Amino acid sequence: MKTLGYYNGEIGEIEDMTVPMNDRANYFGDGVYDATVCVGYAINFLEEHVDRFYRSAAALGIVIPCAKNDLCALLRDLVLRLDSPDQFVYWQVTRGTAPRRHAFPAGPANLWVQLRPEAPADAGQTYRLVSVPDTRYQHCHIKTLNLIPSVLAAQKAAQHGCDEAVFHRDGIVTECAHSNIHILKDGVFCTHPADCHILPGIARAHLLRICDALGIPVCEQAFTLEDLRQADEVIVSSSGECCMRALELDGQPVGGRAPKLFRRLHDAAFQEFWADIAQNKPASLR
């Protein structure tokens, strides 16, 4: 074989392999990986890489569907199937295959392996470098597939019988696992500014426009967990649930103190939602 792909026991050339659309790697990046090189059909530091692989999976609560020694044996067997003795060896495990939902599915994890020819590194090679600010964890405003933090937060919410998880940074509320969060205080609609710490939701933008139309003052400024606890109302918004009322945080009651103002926002948001649905329904279904 020139290359090798492995998926839950199925083996073939990489370009011939397929993966179920519902594998959680596809929409959450919900998995871990490790990789090393193989020279002369000998995999470099395999046990150490496999140990790290299992540590990474355990940190995310992913149960790898085989024992360490079985995985080592599998990888050693697979590299022998390639024509080239020098290879790049990559393997990963994803949380499983299930319809898209942030909280964990009950099914088994999926094991992947990819092998391709790769010549050993030139030990005499020199490098050229470029400096880049480390912003790897400051891209919440981009709707990427890398959703493991949201997945873990949603799972915690599910384990506590809750519907959402509220993220905060040193007490400053940012957003939820898969929603935006806002408060009403003294007649003012408060929401975190649309910076790199939140995904600026479409429903959030509609709520801001609705506030303007209804004459409700808006404050786009960060607020704290304590502000949230003392708010007149707590509002969660997302594309499918455009203005939802929250009445509990960490087992304690919140909001519920400005029902008329909340109802004005809620009704206007859902009226706009259904009006858009009616307008964009295919002509044959109207």
User: Active-site residue numbers?
Assistant: 143
Instruction: Specify whether the CB–CB gap between 90 and 72 falls below 8 A.
Output: no
For the beta sheet containing 42-43, the strands, ordered from the edge strand earlier in sequence to the opposite edge, are 10-12, 4-7, 110-117, 87-94, 31-39, 42-43
Q: What is the C-alpha to C-alpha distance for residues 82 and 5, in angstroms, rounded to an integer?
A: 11
Query: Can you give the length of the chain in residues?
Result: 286
DSSP assignment of 141-202: TS--S--HHHHHHHHHHHHTT-S--EEEETTEEEEESSSEEEEEETTEEEE--SSTTS---H
Q: How far apart are CA 14 and CA 5, in angstroms?
A: 5
- DSSP secondary structure letter of residue 124: T
Q: Which of 39, 226, 33 is nearest to 114 (CA)?
A: 33
